[in-house]
Amino acid sequence: MPLIVPVLVPFVTAAVSLLAWRRAPVQRLLGAIGAAGLLTSGIVLLVQVRTQGIQTSQIGGWPAPYGITFVADHFSALMVLVTGVIGLSVAVYSLVEIDGPRQSFGYFPLLHIMLTGVTGAFLTGDMFNLYVWFEVMLISSFVLLALGSERPQLEGALKYVTLNLVSSFLFLTAVGILYGEVGTLNMAHAARRIRALGNPDLVAILAMLFFISFGIKAAVFPLFFWLPASYHTPPAAVSAVFAGLLTKVGVYALIRTFTLVFGQLELVHTLVLILAGFTMVTGVLGAIAQDEFRRILSFHIISQIGYMILGLGLYTPLALAGSVFYIVHHIVVKTNLFLIGGIVRGLEGSERLERLGGLYNRKPWLALLFAIPALSLAGLPPLSGFVAKLALVRAGLEVGEYALVGVALGVSLLTLYSMAKIWNAVFWEAPSDTSKAAPGLGGGAQAVLAGPAAMLALLTVCMGLLAGPAFLAAEAAAAELLDPERYIYAVLGDAS
């Protein structure tokens, strides 16, 4: 399968949906079919990488490093696959959750344009094109965030786009300096040439520019303030796809850049370790202080980013495998929690914890759907979060980072506390404030909304119970990340 297919599927879906601008039922159908097509292409791509090794494609027939290069190794293939899973889940959920006015203003085309940017970022082998795919994501996600024009959405969208434009400016500046120094933006070619530069100070400055840029997009401490200010404001379907995918593209860019291009910089890996600890702690403390369902979840995104970059800081095979597994686990779990938050809001008419309560007796199936990803997020066995955190803890102990291991374990306990706080307020206790009338959801709507949540919950359980086979792919990704010559040779061959 050509590597361009996972990018073309959502792009073509968006284009065809635009032709059906005034036909909402057609757009909904195309949205679901296109997402299923993306998932299918992701499965095929991962199988292709597993059986044939790293795949490359030169768009237009121009040889690397002169043309546009797409590359798929285990890491990028896993990310494309999980993007397909999330795309399909959110597209089905959106059939009910997204109202008519938002659909009439192009919700489904915008969703697929964003998925185009996400898959393009995972598969590109070129720094400038990574910038382009980031901008595709930024523009489409900004419109999705503001769609509906409610005041909280517009305020959140303004903060979101302002800080991300700062990130884009820094990224473009770094790209320009990189090209000026090494004469190429192909990642594999730049990796070869940057090692020959005789100016370590310039390399360090370049690395820090890229780190700050990607750190903003990944919501790493202290660059995370845009995220909790924006992610709780749009409809749950939009929040879910944002929470699942957007910050992970920033984490992916960090891991890709600082294993392939700047992998030899010990200073960066030390900095990553320090920031990983602060990111975990500040995120979970922010979550504990909140009293709204999705605001708690938004701060937990920040906290979990710390675990994801911890493996990059430790920089061992087990640590990087743990990070890759953690990213995939978190995408599934966090998307699911936001989807469940949307169901709760639809049933109760509020997200404030004091206005919620008693859902365990009325909707036990919803309590179960929440409990699975919530316990996985906290790292309890036998769920996927336990496997991911166990790998990172073992990796930290192996290299003697006992303080960070202690932080990671402590943050897990605080995560469990905040998930218990939601459980008690939403499902167990009676509401203390019943002044807000609940709009409710019909039985058919509940079934459609519960379907994607149940699928993601089942996937969380399977990733935990079948951790051996699942972790093999993460280990293969880590082996490729720690041996960048395999990536470079796949792209350039013997060319210098």
Q: What is the pLDDT of residues 89-113, one digit of tens each?
A: 999 999 988 887 787 788 999 999 9
pLDDT at 434: 54
Buried b (16+ CB within 10 A) or exposed e, 356-394: bbebbeebeebbebbbbbbbbbbbbeebbbbbbbebbbe
pLDDT at 358: 82
Question: Does residue 83 come out as left (phi exceeding 0), alpha (psi in the -120 to 50 range) or beta?
Answer: alpha
Angle at the Cα of 158 from the Cα atoms of 176 and 83, rounded to 5 degrees: 70
pTM value is 0.94
Q: Which residue has the tokens 């701060």?
A: 299
10 Å Cβ neighbour count for 103? 18
Encoding tokens for residue 188? 């594999």
pLDDT at 433: 55
pLDDT at 405: 95
Residues in the chain predicted with pLDDT less than 70, given as ranges, are 148-150, 431-443, 494-496
pLDDT at 380: 93
pLDDT at 325: 97
Cβ distance 342 to 260 under 8 Å? Answer: no
Q: What gap in Å lies between CA 463 and CA 458, rounded to an integer?
A: 9
Cβ distance 187 to 481 under 8 Å? Answer: no
- Residue 448 to residues 112, 385, 444, Cα–Cα distance (Å): 20, 26, 6
pLDDT at 99: 80
pLDDT at 223: 83
For residue range 235-284, list pLDDT tens digits in order.
889 999 999 999 899 999 999 999 999 877 778 888 999 999 999 999 99
Cβ distance 133 to 124 under 8 Å? Answer: yes
Q: What gap in Å lies between CA 170 and CA 177, rounded to an integer?
A: 11
